Structure 1
Amino acid sequence: MSSDASTDWLDLLDWRREASALYAHVREELPQGPQEAHRLWQTGRNALFGNHPQSPLSLEARAAFRELPCWPYDPALAFSAWVDTSGPQERLTVPSSTGQEMPLVRFGRVYLPIGTLDVYWIDVYGGGVFLPFRDATSGQESYGGGRYLLDTAKSADLGSTASGELRLDFNFAYHPSCFYDPRWSCPLAPPQNVLGVPVRAGERMA
Structure 2
Amino acid sequence: MTGRTELELADWRRRVAQLYAAVRAEAEPAVGHALWRAGRDALFREHPQSALRADDPLRETGLPFWPYDPDLRFELPLGPVPEGTRTLELPSGETGSTLLRAVGVLELPDPVGGSLTVWWLEQYAGGLFLPMRDGTAGGDPATSSYGGGRYLLDTAKGADLGAVGDRMVIDLNFLYHPSCRYDDAWLCPLAPPENSVTARVEAGERMA
Is TM > 0.5 for Structure 1 vs Structure 2? yes
- One-letter identity of the residue aligned with 2:150: R
Q: Is residue 128 from structure 1 mapped to residue 124 from structure 2 by the alignment?
A: no
**Distance change >3 Å, CA 39–CA 64, structure 1 → 2:** closer
Taking the aligned partners of 1:10 and 1:96, their CA distance within structure 2 comes to 22
Indicate the residue corresponding to 2:192 in structure 1: 190
Taking the aligned partners of 2:96 and 2:145, their CA distance within structure 1 comes to 22
Taking the aligned partners of 2:175 and 2:206, their CA distance within structure 1 comes to 9
Q: Is residue 58 from structure 1 mapped to residue 53 from structure 2 by the alignment?
A: yes
**Distance change >3 Å, CA 126–CA 64, structure 1 → 2:** closer
Q: Of 10, 15, 24, which aligns to 1:13? A: 10
TM-score when scaled to structure 1?
0.92
Higher mean alpha-carbon deviation, 40-49 vs 122-131, is at 122-131
Aligned positions, number: 200
Q: Of 137, 149, 162, which aligns to 1:159? A: 162
Q: Is residue 25 from structure 1 mapped to residue 27 from structure 2 by the alignment?
A: no
Conserved? CA contact 1:81–1:168, under 8 Å:
yes
Q: Is residue 106 from structure 1 mapped to residue 105 from structure 2 by the alignment?
A: no
**Distance change >3 Å, CA 68–CA 190, structure 1 → 2:** same
Q: Of 33, 41, 52, which aligns to 1:38? A: 33
Equivalent position SS for 1:27: helix
**Distance change >3 Å, CA 12–CA 204, structure 1 → 2:** same
Conserved? CA contact 1:77–1:169, under 8 Å:
yes
Structure 1 residues without counterparts, runs of 5 or longer: none
Equivalent position SS for 1:107: strand
Indicate the residue corresponding to 1:150 in structure 2: 153
Indicate the residue corresponding to 2:72 in structure 1: 77
> What are the superposed Cα offsets for residues 16-43 of structure 1, whole Å, 9 maximum, x if unpaired?
11111000000001xx211100000000
In the TM superposition, residue 143 of structure 1 has moved relative to its aligned partner by: 0.4
TM-score when scaled to structure 2?
0.91
Conserved? CA contact 1:49–1:62, under 8 Å:
no
- One-letter identity of the residue aligned with 1:180: Y
> What are the superposed Cα offsets for residues 123-147 of structure 1, whole Å, 9 maximum, x if unpaired?
1042110110100000120001100
In the TM superposition, residue 148 of structure 1 has moved relative to its aligned partner by: 0.4
> What are the superposed Cα offsets for residues 93-121 of structure 1, whole Å, 9 maximum, x if unpaired?
12236684211101210111121111100
Structure 2 residues without counterparts, runs of 5 or longer: none
- One-letter identity of the residue aligned with 1:154: K
Conserved? CA contact 1:97–1:188, under 8 Å:
no
Taking the aligned partners of 2:29 and 2:15, their CA distance within structure 1 comes to 21
Conserved? CA contact 1:98–1:186, under 8 Å:
no
RMSD: 1.7
Taking the aligned partners of 1:49 and 1:55, their CA distance within structure 2 comes to 5
Taking the aligned partners of 1:11 and 1:86, their CA distance within structure 2 comes to 37
Taking the aligned partners of 1:64 and 1:33, their CA distance within structure 2 comes to 27
Conserved? CA contact 1:119–1:129, under 8 Å:
yes
**Distance change >3 Å, CA 47–CA 182, structure 1 → 2:** same
Equivalent position SS for 1:25: helix
Percent of aligned positions that are identical: 50
